[in-house]
Amino acid sequence: MAKLALNKSSLARESTQLAEYKRFLPSLELKRLQIMAERAKAKETLARLEKDYEQRFKDLAATLPMIANTHVPLEGLVRLKAAVRGEQNLSGTILPVLEDIEVETEPYSLLARPHWVDPYVEGMRDLLRLNLEREVARERIAKLVEAEAVISRRVNLFEKVLIPRAAQNIKKIRMALADAERDAVVRAKISKRKTAARAAEERMADL
**Does residue 174 belong to any structural domain of this protein?**
no
- pLDDT tens, residue by residue, 51-109: 999 998 888 878 766 555 555 455 666 777 888 999 999 988 999 999 988 877 776 65
193 to 182, 196, 200, 204: CA distances (angstroms): 17, 5, 10, 16
**Does residue 58 belong to any structural domain of this protein?**
yes
Q: What percent of the chain has pLDDT over 70?
A: 81
**Does residue 100 belong to any structural domain of this protein?**
yes
Q: How far is Cα 97 from Cα 84, in angstroms, rounded to an integer?
A: 9
What is the H or E stretch that residue 105 is in?
Answer: strand 93-105
Q: How far is Cα 82 from Cα 74, in angstroms, rounded to an integer?
A: 20
- pLDDT tens, residue by residue, 143-199: 999 999 999 999 999 999 999 999 999 999 988 888 888 877 777 777 777 776 676
pLDDT at 140 over 70: yes
Terminal Cα distance for the chain, rounded: 63
Q: How far is Cα 25 from Cα 143, in angstroms, rounded to an integer?
A: 22
**Does residue 8 belong to any structural domain of this protein?**
no
**Does residue 200 belong to any structural domain of this protein?**
no
Which domain covers residue 126, as residue numbers? 28-152
**Does residue 175 belong to any structural domain of this protein?**
no
Q: How far is Cα 10 from Cα 120, in angstroms, rounded to an integer?
A: 75
**Does residue 167 belong to any structural domain of this protein?**
no
Counted domains in the chain: 1
Q: How far is Cα 102 from Cα 150, in angstroms, rounded to an integer?
A: 36
